[in-house]
Amino acid sequence: MKRGIALLLAVLLLMCSGCSDLLESDKIKLQFYYRVSNDIPSGNALTSEVKYLDSDSIPAVMEALLEGPYKAGMMRTFPEKVQLNSFALNEGILTLDLSESFGTLSGYDLMLAQYCIVLTVTQLDSVDGVSMTVDGKKVPGGAAGILTPTNVLLTGETQDPYMISSQLYFPTKEGTGMGVEYRMITVESMDAVGQSQGVLDQLFIGPREPELAPCLNGGMMKVSSVQGNVCTITMDEEALDKLISDQATFQLKLYSIVNSLTELDAIDKVVFLLHGELMDGWETQYGAKYDF
Cα(91)–Cα(284) distance, integer angstroms: 33
Task: For the chain, list residues with pLDDT below 50.
Answer: 1-23, 154-159
Residue 129's H or E segment, with its range, is strand 129-134
**Judging by beta carbons within 10 Å of its beta carbon (0-12, 13-18, 19+), is residue 221 exposed, middle or buried?**
buried
What b/e readout covers 108-146, taking b as 16+ CB neighbours within 10 angstroms? eebbbbbbbbbbbbbbbeebebbbbbbeeeebeebbeeb
**The one-letter amino acid at 6:** A
Q: Range(s) for CATH 3.30.300.130 in the chain?
A: 183-274
pLDDT tens track for 99-143: 999 988 887 788 889 889 999 999 999 999 899 999 999 887 766
CATH (one of 1.10.760.10, 3.30.300.130, 3.40.1110.10, 3.90.1150.10) for 183-274: 3.30.300.130
Instruction: Look at residue 157 in the predicted model and tell me its pLDDT.
Output: 39
Instruction: Look at residue 191 in the predicted model and tell me its pLDDT.
Output: 86
Cα(220)–Cα(204) distance, integer angstroms: 10
Instruction: Look at residue 25 in the predicted model and tell me its pLDDT.
Output: 54
Cα(223)–Cα(196) distance, integer angstroms: 7
Mean of the per-residue pLDDT values of the chain: 83
Q: pTM for the whole thing?
A: 0.50
